Chains A and B, each alone.
Chain A
Amino acid sequence: MTVQQSIRPEAAQATGEVVMSARHVAKHYGAVKALKGVNFDIHRGQVTTLFGENGAGKSTLMKILSGIVTPTSGQILLDGEPVSFHGANDALAQGISIIHQELALAPNLNVRDNIFMGREIRTPRGVDFAEEERVTRALMEELEEEIDPLTPVEELRLGQQQIVEIARALQARSRILIMDEPTSALSASEVEVLFKVINDLTAKGVSIVYISHHLEEALEVTDHAVVLRDGEMTAYAPRAEIDLEWIVRNMVGEGFDLGSPPASRTGEPALIIEDLCVPDPSGHGLVVDHMNLSVRCGEIVCIYGLMGAGRTEMMECAAGRIRAREGAVKLHGCDVSHLSIAERIDAGLVLVPEDRQRDGLVQTMTVGQNLSLSSIAAFTRGLFTSRKAERKVVEDSIREVTVKTDGGGAMIGSLSGGNQQKVVIGKMLATRPEVILLDEPSRGIDVGAKAEVFKLLARTAEERGLAVLYSTSEVGECLSIAHRIVVMNRGRISAEFDHTATKEQIMAASGEAVHH
């Protein structure tokens, strides 16, 4: 690991005034060294992007800058003066706000109340709800999102919740805005809107820190790039000097490739979805509208679509989480529509859900217990579980999906976001499924891990004849391992391509405006 260019404050000065910086900041969690003495600068009115693998320490550094975590050692300078924050509110008062990687919203409250949570507009006669609602509407307009301020957050899709989280940070009108993977659940057009907002903000002198695993996307907005690796800063360069290859080389040390479809020897249809209709939660209309799809053994199919196209609902319905109004889900020709989730898992049909915090992980359990949760039967001998057999299942999974952890006994919350995602995938693969549905499996994982996950899926498909159906909102990911790309639009399949399709074709079929 070579330090390509350590940060040079003189050089930084030349490209814009530094408003905030971290000096030799280290953070240790017990034996884990999340940060090992990092220097980091935020430039006034510019976007600084932080790249790095899962677990590199990006979120940790951002939590330190926003007062949520106190560093083990090192210094934070704000306008050149050393500061130490006592909690997030302290940092907020000094004009620093953060959009969290893991959503931090109150699901029972509505959009308006979430945006103003903790900083309500108070008048002598109580909270000024009308004004709050007006501001919320304005924010939603700015973000070009049709979300009613009075909708409870739990009724919103994940991507819309992310919009609310962004709006919440925008509302604070801070001078330093930290965005930790703000776009992981957004569609391409929403990302574009966000970038417009970012440009407006920087024009007004707001300084932004941006973190994303969507590298190409991040390149569009960034002015400075910093790469973190294993808790150390390994590279810095201004926008003019970087390209995709530079980032990937500094992040993972090699070129990256999301793979190509495995040599196809696809067999009989494994999963057949027939005439599937899923009602809208509100009761009128259908989110999945008479959909037909079949996936063969050993075949990899990608579903592309905008948010709200019905991908999540289709997968949840196939996995047994929600009921269909009409239609059938068949596994190897047998109708499984009446089976429970557990019975479908036993039959070999599993789902990796989109929202890992809410649906994927049990936060009170360890990495190992999470990994083995769906395959308890595999290591139960008679009445009791066998520790030895369980350890083997866990260790195999950790190796198979390459989770970065100190071992199965670590708490799941101590893992970085991407590694948590790998645990959710590993849990389902450990059940040795025949059909695996993955809803946005690459959400929040780094390029290296993404390539590994795809490679793993491709290998399993090839070796075991696993039928894979994954959804994505990043076009680039459609054109990787998938044999077939299915585009969904408003609950229906609007087009189907093989792996020779172009990005433009796919995006056009999804009903997305192509601006390039």
Chain B
Amino acid sequence: MADITNSKPAGGGMGLNIGKILLEGRAFFALVAIIVVFSILSPVYFSLGNFLIMSSHVAIFGLLAIGMLLVILNGGIDLSVGSTLGLSGVVAGFLMQGVEIPAAGVVLYPPVWAVVVLTVLLGAFVGLINGVLIAIFNVPAFVATLGMLYVARGVALLMTNGLTYNNLGGDAALGNTGFDWLGFNRIAGVPIGVIVLALVALAVGLVLARSAFGRWLYASGGNERAAELSGVPTRGVKISVYVLSGICAAIAGLVLSSQLTSAGPTAGTTYELTAIAAVVIGGAALTGGRGNVLGTMLGAFVIGFLSDGLVIIGVSAYWQTVFTGAVIVLAVLLNSLQYGRSGR
């Protein structure tokens, strides 16, 4: 029997490993491929300046995608992030215009830091509603956040009457300047939005990899019953991920309205889908328990660099949509290859 045992393990093993590396690093290789192809097609694509501009576009999706990753790791979905982003921008814009207090007959102009804090709190509040509906009242995540998608968008439209807040620059006399700092300034040449994204990604990455909360999240996404019986506060974890997702959406809303120095009620429409796509391209499983921040960031960059590249070489917007869709389907296909096989 012994002679059967050593049937050419070496050669077969190597081929398998290269295939495995390509499969597991697919988002990275896709990003490299995108950069190479567009650099050949367009002379302006491959430059530091262009990369930074594209990255500041990616920052918006990237922030949403990080929040979405947390929710998806828990086995849920958050369809409301695009609307929360829009609502946050509108609320920031509203606060920047000054809040009139009729009783006192004065108009309050909160400083920019207060606007930022209040907007982030709003995002957390929206997430809290989602989380409570899902974790306490057992509403399916898809339905609860779909409802929130409409409600948040509707509130944004109501607040602005469908119009856009322009001119968020503030006024030195009122002491509320500096809102455009988020969108326009650079530190060592890097746009602030990109730095915010990097910081959030680092923080969430560290939490996922090295904190008890991270471990709880992976466990309750992988098998909620087993996690609960092991002493994981599964409800708390579930509520937290929606709150964090709401906060990420609010930060994204602030960065976007600051980049545009205006806040429209329809900003961020369908961005939730882009965020889900980034998470999936990054290798996370929609069933929960699998995925990481690095993958999600790569996923966001793949989508961002692809669509900006298509714009740069002058492909029509319609084709961009087709390409993005194809990339998503391809990514899910590879996901099922990776996870489907390990079960056997």
Contacts and interface: CB of A to CB of B under 8 A. Distances in A.
Interface of A: 24, 26, 28, 30, 33, 36-39, 68-69, 72-74, 232, 319, 321, 340-342, 345-346, 351, 353, 358-365, 369, 373-374, 376-377, 380, 383-385, 411, 413, 427, 431
B210 A362 contact: no
A361 B226 contact: yes
Nearest to B228: A341
A411 B228 contact: no
B144 to A, nearest CB: 21
Contacts of A26: 4-5, 7
A379 to B, nearest CB: 9
B233 A342 contact: yes
**What class of interface size applies to chain B in its complex with A?**
35 or more
- Most chain B CB atoms below 10 A, which of A360, A373, A377: A373
Contact of B222 (A359, A362, A431): A362
B342 interface: yes
Interface stretch (B104-112, B183-191, B211-219, B315-323): B211-219
Interface in B192-244: 206, 210-212, 215-216, 218-219, 221-223, 225-233
A376 to B, nearest CB: 5
Nearest to B219: A362
Contacts of B225: 358-359
A74 B3 CA distance: 12
A232 B3 CA distance: 13
A384 B4 contact: no
A227 to B, nearest CB: 14
Given A36-B1, A37-B2, A360-B229, A369 B7 contact: no
A61 to B, nearest CB: 14
Contacts of B342: 411, 413
Contacts of A28: 9
A373 B231 CA distance: 8
B219 A373 contact: yes
B218 A37 contact: no
Given A24-B1, A33-B5, A413-B343, A341 B231 contact: yes
Given A36-B5, A364-B218, A385 B210 contact: yes
Interface of B: 1-5, 7, 9, 13, 206, 210-212, 215-216, 218-219, 221-223, 225-233, 285, 288-290, 342-344
A315 B126 CA distance: 39
Given A319-B229, A359-B229, A360-B229, A36 B222 contact: no
A384 B203 CA distance: 12
Given A358-B225, A360-B229, A362-B222, A69 B344 contact: yes
Given A384-B210, A411-B342, A364 B290 contact: yes
A369 B289 CA distance: 12
A374 B218 CA distance: 13
A30 B13 CA distance: 8
B229 A73 contact: no
B2 A369 contact: no
B9 A376 contact: no
B226 A362 contact: yes
A351 B230 CA distance: 8
A373 B4 contact: no
Contacts of B233: 340, 342
A39 B4 CA distance: 12
16 contacts: A26-B4, A26-B5, A36-B4, A73-B7, A74-B4, A346-B231, A362-B222, A363-B223, A364-B221, A364-B288, A365-B219, A373-B219, A373-B230, A374-B231, A376-B212, A413-B342
B222 A24 contact: no
A373 B290 contact: no
A345 B231 contact: yes
B231 A72 contact: no
Contacts of A411: 342
Contact of B223 (A38, A361, A427): A361
Contact of A359 (B206, B211, B212, B226): B226
